[in-house]
C-alpha cells in the first residue's frame, strides 16, 4: 500500500522477489537461532540491489532511484516488514546518510564505501537506558582528551550493535551535541549482547567507560550536531514506520484470509458482525498508518519545515494503533495465534519492538506539543 | 465530460481563477469562525442570504458548477479544475450555507436521473444561488435503514399525494426545494417500492418543526407531510425505481468527506480534526496558562489531538488515490468517515479532560472551557450524523473487504410484512 | 443493584416512591429552569424521610437505618441517580457528618439541627480552581486576625454554593489544614453563580477576599483537619459513586429496552452482534461499578484502613467507564439521543458532571499509587 | 446435599480445619511464586507429585471433597464449608497442579451423569490424589464451537473406537484419565450426535504432542487419537446425549472463576489482577527506581492497575450474589470472565509501557523487565484461554440480557452437511 511510481516499481518488485527467495519465513526462523540473525552474503546482495545507497549523494558513491531517497528506502523497509526480513537496514542507512551528509573524505572513502558495498553494517548508538531514555536526552559525555575525545556513558539498546563494524555515537560535549563514528573494535568499548523480543534482530548494550577516540572520528564539528541528530531521528522513524506498515499489512491480510476460511457454528468468522466491525477498525488503522507513513517519508525528502510534525504524528499513530491491530489479529486467530509454530508472532515481535524504539508514541505526541508550542509562541 | 483537447488546462484555469478571485471575491468575515450552534435564526438567515449572493457572484464570474455541463449553466470542466479552484478560494469567502446538500447530493442526482426538462428547469437556478435544496431522506422510524421509508406517495391522476414524516434535515426552514424518497409500493420488498420526488418546500401541507439538540442547536428539522400534492413532472427516475436513485444519492452524499466534483470551497481535509473539542489551539492555550506544556500527561494528550488531525489530513487523499487506482472499492470513503467520527470522539474527550472542573461549571469568562463540557455531551454526534459509524463499519467490512453481508429480515418480503419498530411516542 | 437488607428495603422503597411522585422527569425539566433547581418543601420532606440524618450520631439528633449510615445514604443516592433527582444531597450530608463528628455544641444546636430538619442546605467548599485543583491541594489561607481568622482565596465549583445556608470551608492555616463552618451571609463572602452542565444542580464560585470569621466558626482545632478532610473526601466520593450507579442503571435499562423495540432492516437492534457485544461490555461496566461502589460505602462504615483504596478504585473505575457507558447509550439511540427532548441527557449531564468532581479518575488512580507507595515503603 | 440439621456448622468446621491445618499442612514453598512458564518438565513433574501428596494429606485428614457425598469418599458438606476451608488454607501449601480440571469440571460431571458404578470406581481415587484428570474438549478445527467436534467414536461390539484430535489440554502428558467429547452420529444436527467417554490416557493409540507457545511455555498439549478402544462401561450419559453432559461440563468449567464447590485453595478472587504484567508490585518498584512515583502519567497507570485489581476483587462476589438472589442468570459468571480477560490485557499493556526499552531488549539483570515484553506478546491469551471473551460477550448478551441469539448455520442440519473450515495445514 506504499505506492511506487516509475522506476520505483521495478525496484520494489526486485526487492520483494529477492526477499521471497532468500528469506522466506522458514529461513527467518532458522536465522533466528543464529548469533547475528542474517548472513553477510544476504546483506551484500541486498546492497547490490541498492538498499544502502539511497540516502547517499552520488558524489559519495550513492544514488537514489527516484530522486526521493527516503521514499525509495521506505519501499524497501515496507518489504522488510512484509517479509519479517532480517538485516541491519535502519542502522546502516542512518550511518550512511550521516556520512554522506557530514562525513570527512576519509570517512566517505573508508567506512561509507564499506557500507555501500554491503561489506559492513552500521549501527546508530543514540538511545540510552532509563532514566535517560527521554526524547532529546543525551547523557553520554565526550570530553577533550589530548588530541581526541574521551567518551563516558552507555548506549542501549543499539540495534545490530554487535554486528556493525561502524557505530555512530551521539554524545554531549561542553559545546553541545556531538557525533562520532567509531569502529566497533575501538579499544575500551564494551559491547554486550542483550536478550530481545524480536527474533530477527539483535540488540546490544554499549558501555563507554573512557573510550578514547581521535578527532578524525568526529562527524561534523563538536557541538554542532543538535539539528543533525534531530534529522537522523526523523529519518530512523520514517524508515521504521514503513517497516511497521509492511508487518501490519502481512498480519492484516493473513487474518482476513483466516476469517474467510475459518468456520465456527457453520459460518465463516468473516460473517460475524462483531468481528467484521473490528476488521473495519483494523482496516482504518492500516490505511491511516500507511497514509501518514508515506507522507512522512515524502516530507523527509522535501525536508519540509513540517517534517518532524509528519514523522512524530506517524510514530504516535502507528505506535498507538499498530500494536492493537496486531493483537486483534492474534485474538481473531485464537489459541493458535500465540503458538510458536504460527508465523504471526514473528510480525508481532517486530511491531512491539518498534513501538518504544526511537521514541515511544507518547514521547512523539509530547514532541508534537513542543513543536506546536514553539511555532505558536 | 468533454474532449480533453477542448478543455482549458488546469494551471491556466487556476491562474485565471486566482486573478478573478483577487479582483472580485471578499475575504471571509471574522465571524465565520464562530460556533454555528451559537447563531440566532436572524444570523442564520443573514448567512444564507450572503451565501446566495456569493453563489451568484461565482455564477456571473463563470466559476459556478465547474463540473456541470455548460448546457445547464455550468463550466463543463473536470474534478481537477474544481480541486484547483478550491485551493484558490480557500482564503476567500465562499458560499457555505447553500452548498450542501444543494450541490451534492441534490444536483448530481438530478443530473444523473432527471429528464432533460427537469435539468433545464432546476439546475441553473441552483448555480445562480436562487434555489437552496434539502434532502428528505431519513425518517423517525428508520435510523440507518433509509430504504425502510414509511412516507407514502399515492398516485392520484397526474399527481402524487405524499404523507409521512422526514427528519434530520438541515436548514429545512429556509430551503426552497427538497429531494424526497417515498414509498410508492408496499407489496414488494422494500428496495423495490420506492420513488424519488422533487418537492417545492413552499407549498401547503408541509409543516416544519425545529429540533432542539441538547446543546441548544436548532440546525436540524423534522417535516410532517400531510396530503402534499406533487405533479408527476416532479418525479425523478422510475416509479418504484427510487432505490437506484437512492444508492447514487447516498454515494454522492458520502463524497462530501472525500472530494466532490460539485462542491466549492476549502477542501474538507483541512477541516479534519476540527470537530467537537475545538481543535488543538485552545488546548495549547489552556496548557500554557496552567504551565502544563511540559507536563508529561498534558503534553501527550495535546500532541495526540494534533497527531490525529495530521494523520486525518493525509488519509483523505490516500483513500481517494486508492479508489482512483482501483486498489480500494468505491465505498472506501467510509474509512474516512469512520476516522473523522472516531477521532472527533477522542478529541472531544481529551479537550474535556484538559478543561478540568471549568468544563462542568464555568463563569462567563470561562465560557470557552464550558464549551468543552458541552462538546463532550455532544461527543457522539460525530459518530451519528451523516450516517453512523456502525454503518461505516458495515460498509467497510462488506463492500471494501468483501465479507458476507449481515442477515436482513426484509429481503424478498413485501415491505408491508417486514417487522418494524413500534410507532414513536 | 445496590442491595438493601432488612429495614433498608422499606427505606429505599419509600425514597423511590417519593421521588417518583415528587420529581418525575417532567418535573425535573421544569425545575431545571428555576434558580435553585429544587423546592424547599421537597427537601424538607426528604429530610423527614431521613435523607439528612444518616451520618449523624443519635445524640446529635441523627440516626441511621441499619447501623451502617453510609450504606443507607448510598441507597438514597442510588435512587437520586436513578431519578436524576435534584437536591443538595452530598453537600448537606458532608456538612452534617462533619458537624456530627467534630462540631461544637453550638454548631450542633443551630446549623446541624437546621440541616437535619431540612430547613437549610449545606455546601462543601473544598475544591479550588486550576491550578490548585489537584487532590490534596489547598491554597485558600486562614490567618489569625484578632479573635478570629481572615480567609483569602477562592473555592470553585461549590455545589449548591448559593442555595446552602451553611458552608464548610477547608483552609490552609500555618499550623495545617483547618475547617470552618460559615453562614452563607458572612460579610465579605462573594458567591457567584456559575453556568453548568447539569440541569438539576447548581454550582457557585465563592470568593474570600479577606472574609473575617470568629473562632466559634472553627470545626475542630486549627491545623488538625488533614485526616478529617481526607475522610470527607472519601465520604463525598462514596455517595457520588452510588448516585452515578443509579444514573448509569437508568441509562442502561432504557437503552436495552430501546434495543429490543427499535427495528432496523427488519430486525431489532438487540439482534445485531456488534451491538450485543457492546451491551455485554456495558453490562460488565455497570456490574463492576455497582460492585465497587457498594463495597466503597461498606468500607466507609467499617472505617477500614482500606477505605481510601476502595473509594479511589471506585472513582477511577466508575469515572473511567461510566461516561463511556453513557456515551454508548447515546450512540445506540442515534440522533434522538442528543436531542433536548430525550431524557437521556439528563443522566448524561449528571455523570459527566460527576467525573471531575471530588477528584478526577486520574487523580484517584494517582492517589492509589501514593497509598500503595506509602504502605509499601 | 443433606439435611441441614445433620451438618456441622461452618464456624466449628472452620475452627477444626484451622487446627488441623496448623498441625498438618506445610507452608507454601517460596518457589510457588515462580512464573510457571519457566518450569522445566522435571520441575513440573515434581510439583505434580507434591500435589498428589498434599491431596492425600487432605483426604486422610477428612478435608478432601468437602462437597462430595460421603458415599464416594467426600465430606457431604456445603459450599459455605468449602469457602470457609479455602479461607483457612490460603496461607498454606495446597494441591494446585492436580486441582483443575480434575475437581472441576471432571468430578461434578461424573457425579451428575455417571452410573453408580462409575462414581464408585472413579471418584475416590481422585479424592485420594491418585488420579489426575484432563478434559478432551476443544479441537483444532473448532475454536469456540465446541459442539462441532469432529473426533469420532464408532461402536464396535462392546467397545467404541475413537479417532480424531483434541487440543489445548493442560497437563495431558502426565494426566491419568480424560473426559472426552466425541461424535457418535453424523446424521443428526451437531448437538444431537455427541457422546462423552472416560479415557484411560495410558492406553495405546493416544499420542500426545506438546504445543510450544510463543513465550516458550509448553503447558498445553494436542492429542492424536488413533483407533483408541474404549469399553462401553466408560461411556458417560446417554449415547448421542453428550451435549446435555457438555453444557453442564462447561458450566462447571466456568465456575472456576466464580466459586466452585469442588475446588480447594485460595479463592480465585484474590488472584484477579495478577495475570500477565505481574501485578502492581513490580510496577511500583520500577517507578520508585526511576523516581516516577509522583510522575502524573506513571502514577496514574500504576494506580489503574491497582484499581482494576480492587474492582475485580469485589466483582466476583457481587456477581455470585446476583446469581444467588436470582437477579442475574446462572451464566452471569461470563461477566467475571470478561472482566478478568479485559483487565489482564490492560494491565499487560501498562506494564509493558512502564518497562520502557528494557522490555524489548534486556540484559540478564533486567530479566524482570524483559518479562513485561514477553507478557505483552502473550497479552491476548487472557482473552482466549478458557473460552474467548467473544464467547463471553455472546453469553452475556444472549443469556444474561436475553437478546436474540446469533444465527447459526448448523441448526436442524445433519452435522455431516454443515459447512466447516478447510482441514488444517
**Domains in chain C with CATH codes:** 7-120 (1.10.540.10), 123-217 (2.40.110.10), 226-376 (1.20.140.10)
Question: Which of A183, A158, A170 minimizes the C-alpha distance to A227?
Answer: A170
pLDDT per position as a tens digit, D321-372 = 999 899 999 899 999 999 999 999 999 999 999 999 999 999 999 999 999 9
Whole-number CA gyration radius for chain D: 22
Q: What is the mean pLDDT of residues B114-119?
A: 97
Q: Which pLDDT band, with edges at 50, 70 and 90, does B74 fall under? A: very high
pLDDT at B268 over 50: no
pLDDT the model gives residue D412: 87
pLDDT the model gives residue B34: 52
Q: Which pLDDT band, with edges at 50, 70 and 90, does B29 fall under? A: confident
Q: What percent of chain D has pLDDT over 70?
A: 92
Domain D10-132, second-level architecture: Orthogonal Bundle (1.10)
Q: Which of A275, A277, A279, A332 to mutate to test the interface with C (most CBs of C within 10 A)?
A: A277
pLDDT at B78 over 80: yes
Q: How far apart are CA D214 and CA D276, in angstroms?
A: 14
Nearest CA distance, C293 vs chain D (angstrom): 9
Cell numbers found for residue B247:
444508492
Q: How far apart are CA C314 and CA C312, in angstroms?
A: 5
Q: What is the mean pLDDT of residues B347-353?
A: 96
Among the partner-chain residues D293, D319, D394, the one whose CB lies closest to the CB of C373 is D293
pLDDT the model gives residue D1: 43
Cell numbers found for residue C153:
482565596
SS (H, E, C) chain B: CCCHHHCCCHHHHHHHHHHHHHHHCCCCCHHHHCCHHHCCHHHHHHHHHHHHHHHHHHHHHCCCCCCCCHHHCCCCCCHHHHHHHHHHHCCCCCCCCCCCCHHHHHHHHHHHHCCHHHHHHHHHHHHCCCCCEEEECCCCCCCCCHHHCCCEEEEECCEEEEEEEEEEEECCCCCCEEEEEEECCCCCCHHHCEEEEEEECCCCCEEEEECCECCCCCCEEEEEEEEEEEEHHHEECCCCEHHHHHHHHHHHHHHHHCCCCCCCCCCHHHHCCCCCCCCCHHHHHHHHHCCCCCCHHHHHHHHHHHHHHHHHHHHHHHHHHHHHCCCCCHHHHHHHHHHHHHHHHHHHHHHHHHHHHHHCEECHHHHHHHHHHHHHHCHHHHHCCCCCHHHHHHHHHHHHCCCCCCCCCCCCCCHHHCCCCCCCC
Q: What is the mean pLDDT of residues D312-328?
A: 92
pLDDT at D382 over 90: yes
Q: Which pLDDT band, with edges at 50, 70 and 90, does B425 fall under? A: very low
Domain with CATH 1.20.140.10 in chain B: 276-400
Chain C neighbors of B350, CB-CB under 8 A? none
Q: Which pLDDT band, with edges at 50, 70 and 90, does D425 fall under? A: very low
pLDDT at B275 over 50: no
pLDDT the model gives residue B267: 46
Highest average pLDDT, of A149-163, B319-333, B409-423, comes from A149-163
Q: What percent of chain D has pLDDT over 90?
A: 71
Q: Which residues share a beta bridge with D222?
A: D167, D209
pLDDT the model gives residue D3: 47
pLDDT per position as a tens digit, A39-98 = 999 999 999 999 999 999 999 999 999 999 999 999 999 999 999 999 999 999 999 999
Nearest CA distance, D189 vs chain A (angstrom): 11
Q: Which residues share a beta bridge with A154?
A: A207
Q: Is A138 left (phi over 0), alpha (psi -120 to 50) or beta?
A: beta
pLDDT the model gives residue B256: 61
- Low pLDDT (below 70) residues in chain A: 1, 376-377
Q: Across the B/C interface, how many CB contacts are shorter than 8 Å?
A: 140
pLDDT at C53 over 50: yes
| Interface touch C356/B359, C-beta < 8 Å | yes
pLDDT the model gives residue D168: 93
Chain B neighbors of A287, CB-CB under 8 A? 315, 318-319, 322, 335
Mean pLDDT rounded to a whole number for chain D: 90
Q: What is the mean pLDDT of residues D217-241?
A: 96
Q: In degrees, to the nearest 5, what angle opens at C-alpha D149 toward C-alphas D148 and D155?
A: 130
Task: Name the residue of chain B whose CA is nearest to C272's CA.
Answer: B406
Q: How far apart are CA C228 and CA C214, in angstroms?
A: 21
pLDDT per position as a tens digit, B229-244 = 999 999 999 999 999 9
pLDDT at D71 over 50: yes
Cell numbers found for residue D351:
506494564
ipTM over 0.90: yes
Residue environment code for A335-358, b if the CB has 16+ CB neighbours within 10 A, otherwise e: bbbbbbebbbbbbbbbbbbbbbbb
| Interface touch C195/B367, C-beta < 8 Å | yes
**β-bridge pairing D177-183 and D194-200:** antiparallel
Domain with CATH 2.40.110.10 in chain B: 135-245
pLDDT the model gives residue D228: 98
Q: pTM here?
A: 0.94
pLDDT the model gives residue B408: 82
Among the partner-chain residues C266, C274, C338, the one whose CB lies closest to the CB of B418 is C266
Chain A stretch 162-221, residues whose beta carbon is closer than 8 A to a beta carbon of chain D: 192, 194-198, 203, 205
Q: Which pLDDT band, with edges at 50, 70 and 90, does D268 fall under? A: very low
Task: Name the residue of chain B whose CA is nearest to C326's CA.
Answer: B377
Q: What is the mean pLDDT of residues B402-407?
A: 94
pLDDT the model gives residue A313: 98
Is D153 within 8 Å of D190 (Cβ atoms)? no
pLDDT the model gives residue B274: 43
Assign D74 to helix, strand or coil: coil
Q: Which of C313, C321, C375 to mutate to test the interface with D (most CBs of D within 10 A)?
A: C313
Nearest CA distance, C120 vs chain D (angstrom): 37
pLDDT at C176 over 50: yes
Rounded alpha-carbon distances, angstroms, from residue B255 to B97, B383, D416 = 17, 17, 47
Domain D276-400: CATH class, spelled out: mainly alpha
Give the single-character DSSP code of D102.
I
Q: What is the mean pLDDT of residues D106-127?
A: 97
Q: Which pLDDT band, with edges at 50, 70 and 90, does D28 fall under? A: confident
pLDDT at C302 over 80: yes
Chain B neighbors of A369, CB-CB under 8 A? 284, 287, 293, 298-300, 302-303, 306
Cell numbers found for residue C94:
458532608
Note whether A224 contacts B: Cβ–Cβ < 8 A. Answer: no
Q: Which pLDDT band, with edges at 50, 70 and 90, does D270 fall under? A: very low
Nearest CA distance, D300 vs chain B (angstrom): 10
Domain with CATH 1.10.540.10 in chain B: 10-132
pLDDT the model gives residue B40: 85
Cell numbers found for residue D21:
491445618
Q: What is the mean pLDDT of residues B275-302?
A: 84
The CA-to-CA distance between both ends of chain A, in Å, stands at: 38
Say how many C-beta atoms besides its own lie within 10 A of residue A205's C-beta. 21
Cβ contacts of residue C216 below 8 Å, gap of 6+?
A: C104, C106
pLDDT the model gives residue B359: 96
| Interface touch C195/B381, C-beta < 8 Å | no
Cell numbers found for residue B182:
417515498
pLDDT at B32 over 80: no
pLDDT the model gives residue D282: 84
Mean pLDDT rounded to a whole number for chain C: 96
Instruction: Name the CATH code of domain B135-245 (choices 3.40.190.150, 3.40.470.10, 3.30.70.1060, 2.40.110.10).
Output: 2.40.110.10
Amino acid at each position: 500500500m506504499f505506492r511506487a511510481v516509475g522506476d520505483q516499481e521495478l525496484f520494489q518488485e526486485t526487492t520483494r522477489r529477492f526477499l521471497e527467495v532468500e528469506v522466506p519465513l522458514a529461513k527467518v526462523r532458522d536465522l533466528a537461532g543464529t548469533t547475528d540473525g542474517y548472513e553477510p552474503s544476504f546483506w551484500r546482495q541486498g546492497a547490490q540491489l541498492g538498499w544502502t545507497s539511497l540516502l547517499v549523494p552520488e558524489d559519495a558513491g550513492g544514488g537514489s532511484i527516484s530522486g526521493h531517497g527516503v521514499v525509495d528506502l521506505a519501499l524497501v523497509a515496507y518489504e522488510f516488514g512484509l517479509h519479517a526480513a532480517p538485516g541491519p537496514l535502519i542502522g546502516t542507512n542512518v550511518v550512511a546518510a550521516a556520512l554522506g551528509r557530514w562525513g570527512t573524505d576519509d570517512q566517505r572513502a573508508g567506512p561509507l564505501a564499506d557500507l555501500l558495498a554491503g561489506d559492513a553494517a552500521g549501527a546508530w548508538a543514540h538511545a540510552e537506558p532509563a532514566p535517560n531514555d527521554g526524547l532529546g536526552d543525551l547523557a553520554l559525555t565526550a570530553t577533550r582528551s589530548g588530541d581526541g575525545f574521551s567518551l563516558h556513558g552507555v548506549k542501549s539498546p543499539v540495534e545490530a550493535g554487535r554486528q556493525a563494524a561502524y557505530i555512530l555515537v551521539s554524545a554531549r560535549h561542553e559545546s553541545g551535541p556531538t557525533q562520532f563514528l567509531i569502529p566497533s573494535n575501538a579499544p575500551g568499548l564494551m559491547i554486550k549482547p542483550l536478550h530481545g523480543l524480536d527474533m530477527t534482530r539483535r540488540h546490544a548494550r554499549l558501555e563507554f567507560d573512557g573510550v578514547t577516540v581521535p578527532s578524525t572520528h568526529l562527524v561534523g564539528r563538536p557541538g554542532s550536531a543538535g539539528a543533525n541528530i534531530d534529522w537522523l531521528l526523523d529519518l530512523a522513524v520514517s524508515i521504521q514506520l514503513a517497516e511497521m506498515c509492511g508487518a501490519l499489512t502481512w498480519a492484516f491480510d493473513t487474518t482476513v484470509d483466516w476469517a474467510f476460511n475459518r468456520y465456527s457454528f457453520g459460518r465463516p468468522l468473516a460473517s460475524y458482525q462483531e468481528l467484521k466491525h473490528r476488521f473495519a477498525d483494523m482496516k482504518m488503522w492500516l490505511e491511516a498508518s500507511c497514509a501518514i507513513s508515506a507522507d512522512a517519508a515524502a516530507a523527509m525528502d522535501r525536508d519540509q519545515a513540517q517534517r518532524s510534525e509528519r514523522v512524530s504524528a506517524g510514530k504516535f499513530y502507528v505506535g498507538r494503533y499498530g500494536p492493537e491491530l496486531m493483537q486483534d489479529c492474534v485474538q481473531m486467530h485464537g489459541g493458535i495465534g500465540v503458538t510458536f509454530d504460527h508465523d504471526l508472532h514473528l510480525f508481532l515481535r517486530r511491531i512491539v519492538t518498534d513501538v518504544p524504539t526511537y521514541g515511544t508514541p507518547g514521547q512523539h505526541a509530547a514532541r508534537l506539543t513542543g513543536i506546536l508550542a514553539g511555532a505558536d509562541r | 465530460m468533454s474532449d480533453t483537447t477542448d478543455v482549458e488546462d488546469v494551471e491556466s484555469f487556476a491562474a485565471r481563477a486566482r486573478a478573478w478571485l483577487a479582483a472580485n471575491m471578499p475575504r471571509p468575515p471574522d465571524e465565520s469562525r464562530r460556533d454555528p450552534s451559537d447563531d440566532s435564526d436572524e444570523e442564520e438567515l443573514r448567512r444564507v442570504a450572503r451565501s446566495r449572493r456569493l453563489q451568484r457572484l461565482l455564477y456571473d464570474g463563470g466559476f459556478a458548477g465547474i463540473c456541470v455541463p455548460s448546457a445547464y449553466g455550468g463550466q463543463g470542466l473536470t474534478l481537477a479544475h474544481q480541486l484547483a479552484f478550491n485551493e484558490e478560494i480557500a482564503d476567500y469567502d465562499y458560499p457555505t450555507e447553500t452548498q450542501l446538500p444543494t450541490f451534492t447530493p441534490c444536483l448530481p442526482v438530478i443530473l444523473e436521473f432527471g429528464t432533460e426538462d427537469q435539468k433545464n428547469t432546476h439546475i441553473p437556478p441552483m448555480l445562480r444561488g436562487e434555489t437552496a435544496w434539502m434532502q428528505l431522506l431519513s425518517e423517525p422510524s428508520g435510523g440507518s435503514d433509509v430504504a425502510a421509508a414509511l412516507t407514502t406517495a399515492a398516485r392520484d391522476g397526474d399527481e402524487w399525494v405524499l404523507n409521512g414524516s422526514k427528519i434530520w434535515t438541515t436548514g429545512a426552514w429556509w430551503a426552497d426545494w427538497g429531494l424526497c424518497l417515498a414509498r410508492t409500493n408496499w407489496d414488494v420488498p422494500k428496495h423495490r417500492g420506492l420513488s424519488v420526488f422533487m418537492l417545492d418546500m413552499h407549498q401547503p401541507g408541509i409543516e416544519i418543526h425545529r429540533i432542539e439538540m441538547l446543546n441548544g442547536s436548532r440546525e436540524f428539522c423534522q417535516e410532517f407531510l400531510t396530503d402534499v400534492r406533487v405533479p408527476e413532472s416532479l418525479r425523478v427516475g422510475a416509479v418504484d425505481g427510487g432505490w437506484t436513485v437512492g444508492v447514487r444519492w447516498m454515494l454522492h452524499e458520502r463524497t462530501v468527506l472525500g472530494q466532490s466534483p460539485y462542491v466549492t470551497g476549502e477542501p474538507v481535509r483541512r477541516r479534519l480534526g476540527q470537530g467537537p473539542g475545538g481543535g488543538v489551539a485552545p488546548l495549547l492555550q489552556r496548557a500554557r496558562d496552567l504551565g502544563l506544556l511540559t507536563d508529561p500527561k498534558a503534553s501527550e494528550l495535546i500532541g495526540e489531538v494534533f497527531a490525529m488531525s495530521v494523520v486525518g489530513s493525509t488519509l483523505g487523499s490516500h483513500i481517494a488515490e486508492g479508489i482512483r487506482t482501483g486498489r480500494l472499492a468505491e465505498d472506501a470513503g467510509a474509512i474516512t468517515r469512520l476516522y473523522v467520527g472516531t477521532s472527533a470522539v477522542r478529541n472531544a474527550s481529551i479537550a474535556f479532560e484538559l478543561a478540568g472542573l471549568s468544563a462542568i461549571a464555568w463563569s462567563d469568562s470561562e465560557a470557552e472551557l464550558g464549551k468543552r463540557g458541552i462538546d463532550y455531551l455532544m461527543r457522539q454526534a460525530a459518530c451519528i450524523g451523516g450516517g453512523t459509524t456502525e454503518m461505516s463499519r458495515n460498509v467497510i467490512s462488506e463492500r471494501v473487504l468483501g465479507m458476507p453481508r449481515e442477515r436482513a429480515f426484509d429481503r424478498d418480503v413485501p415491505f408491508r410484512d417486514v417487522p418494524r419498530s413500534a410507532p414513536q411516542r
